[in-house]
Amino acid sequence: MEVMMKSRKLLWLVTFAAFSIVVALYVFRNGEAELSQKPLARVSAIDSTKCIAPKEFMRANHMQVLQGWERSVVREGDRVHIASNGSRFQKSLGTCLGCHNNRLFCYNCHSYANVKPKCWNCHLSPMETP
Amino acid sequence: MKKVFMPLVMVAILALIPFVGVQYAGLSYLFGVIIPYTAIVVLLAGFLLRLADWLRRPVPFRIPTTCGQEKSLEWIKYDRFESPHRFWEVAARVLFEVLFFRSLFRNTKAEIHKDANLAYGSHKWLWFGGLAFHWSLLIIVLRHSRFFFPMVPGFTDLLSHVDGFFDVTLPTFYITDAVVLVAITFLVFRRLNDAKMRLISLQTDYFPLFLIAAIVVVGVFMRYLTRLDIMPVKDQMLRLVNFSVDAPGDIGALFYVHLFLVSVLAIYFPFSKLMHAGAIFLSPTRNQCNNSREKRHINPWNTAIKFRTYAEYEDDYREKMKKAKLPIEKQ
Ligand code: HEM
């Protein structure tokens, strides 16, 4: 009986500890997200003449790149993307869509794969531009 | 504790096999084509054979478990759903059992109190946890139909929409992903937390829980953390449902872990307690009408017995009985 009570208490303790760690991680995750007071770093203008990475890479990883952009722009005010070859780009959907200007550019694959990110909740979708 | 760790280790090994196989040995054809086809064949054939086996067993008498008044005389009120006597009443009872786990709702718990009194109380946690677990899994599987149909059926599209109601994170967080993880955690700890439950729980109770948990965790990883490229996955799944044997495209190894664990689940299914999914429909204690008072049920494989009535006996011995002055019924 004694042993059972002990193991039971231990179990609760472990559960509680794991839970606290998760909560703590979540709470302190925002520490890095202090609103920065420095002025937004910008590249002079949107340059849509070349791609920021090879096609194959972008096909498989554009979601990571865009999510990274969203975070670093909104949370850190960093608007400059430095490509692996050193060239600099403005972190903006406009950088991509300026050249990939087919209205169905996003839609075609996303509707096939039934992937519906909520980009267009805020941003203007290419399907909606005149 | 071996009972808990063995299945845990097994699931870990099962998850490592496809990861190593695809990442380092390039076996994507094995894990993307051969094993999934094998799994689906084993699942379907095994499932049907088990059902056929159960259907073959004769059940001559009415043995439903009931908890209500049986239908008898007109003026005695009877309970349609607790003691069904028509087919549709049985069907409704089975359906409510399958959809809402009615019998688990009646679950009770016995406890010995400090003053050594034995007390029974209502205990709904298993009902609630089980319901959350099964419904979430169902919704997740239905949502997965987007990988198998070129055009996603409108119904599952709606389902995904509702499931993503909170509209947070990218891609949208699904409520059922969290619910199923919490429910599995509860179901595991329910077995670990109580001495009686620990005693009666077997490896085969933990294994499916861990396996499904691993499938869910890998799925969640793919969706929210590594953000898997869906295009080649959808290509591959459309090939599979069209019975094509072409090699899969370039898909991340994590997907093969997901798919392999699902294949293992499918193969394990017909051999394990997971067959309760089919068995619930074939349980004689649930799918029979309780109509023994309405209708006589005769065991069809009883050997025919030649009965001899008293009248026949008397016919044979009447004269002798008269001589012995025994009373006879017919002169
Ligand atoms: C018992 C069967 C299965 C279960 C319980 C399951 C569970 C899950 C869960 C919980 C997720 C997280 C995201 C979500 O809820 O949609 C997920 C994602 C995923 N699953 Fe499954 N899965 C199963 C079968 C399959 C099969 C057969 C495939 C083969 C196509 C598959 C492919 C995927 C993919 C590609 C993702 C990532 C989705 C995304 O990134 O949006 N799953 N799975």
Q: B66 pLDDT band (50/70/90 cuts)?
A: very high
Q: Do A11 and B172 touch (CB under 8 A)?
A: no
pLDDT in tens, B271-329: 999 999 999 999 999 999 999 888 888 888 888 888 899 999 999 999 999 999 999 88
The closest alpha carbon to B236, from A129, A24, A113, A27, belongs to: A113
For residue B60, the tally of other CB atoms under 10 A from its CB is 11
Q: Which of A15, A64, A112 lies closest to B227 in CB terms? A: A64
Cα–Cα distance measured from residue B235 to residue B266, given in angstroms and rounded to the nearest whole number: 22
Place of tokens 């990571």: A64
Distance from first CA to last CA of chain A, Å, rounded?
Answer: 75
* Closest residue CA from atom 34 of ligand 1: B219
pLDDT in tens, B155-206: 888 999 999 999 888 889 999 999 999 999 999 999 999 888 999 999 999 9
Question: CA separation (Å) from A101 to A91, A96, A105, A109, A128?
Answer: 17, 8, 7, 15, 12
Cite the DSSP H helix spans in chain B: 2-23, 28-29, 35-56, 87-100, 102-105, 125-143, 154-163, 175-192, 195-200, 203-220, 230-241, 253-268, 276-282, 284-287, 310-323
The yes-or-no verdict on residue B268 having pLDDT over 90 is: yes
CA triple B51-B57-B59, angle to 5 deg: 120
Output B118 or B20, whichever has higher pLDDT.
B20
Instruction: Check residue A124 and report its DSSP letter.
Output: P
In tens digits, chain A (130 residues) has pLDDT values of 455 566 777 788 888 888 888 888 777 765 554 544 555 556 566 777 888 999 989 988 999 999 899 889 988 988 899 988 888 889 988 888 888 988 899 999 998 988 888 888 888 888 887 6
> 0.80 exceeded by the pTM?
yes
- The CATH class of B2-305 is mainly alpha
Contacts with A67 from chain B: Cβ below 8 Å: 170, 227
SS3 B282: helix
How far is the alpha carbon of A113 from chain B, nearest alpha carbon, in Å? 6
Contacts with A118 from chain B: Cβ below 8 Å: 167, 170, 172
Interface test with A, best of B144, B231, B250 (most A CBs within 10 A): B231
How far is the alpha carbon of A18 from chain B, nearest alpha carbon, in Å? 12
| Averaged pLDDT, B85-109 | 94
Output B140 or A43, whichever has higher pLDDT.
B140
How far is the alpha carbon of A130 from chain B, nearest alpha carbon, in Å? 27
Contacts of A63 (CB under 8 A, 6+ apart): A117, B170, B171, B227
| Averaged pLDDT, B227-255 | 93
**A113 shares contact with chain B (CB less than 8 Å):** yes
Domain extent listing, chain B: 2-305
Greatest extent of chain A over all pairs of C-alpha atoms, in Å: 75
Contacts with B250 from chain A: Cβ below 8 Å: 60
Cα–Cα distance measured from residue A120 to residue A68, given in angstroms and rounded to the nearest whole number: 17
* Closest residue CA from atom 21 of ligand 1: B219
What was the ipTM of the complex prediction?
0.73
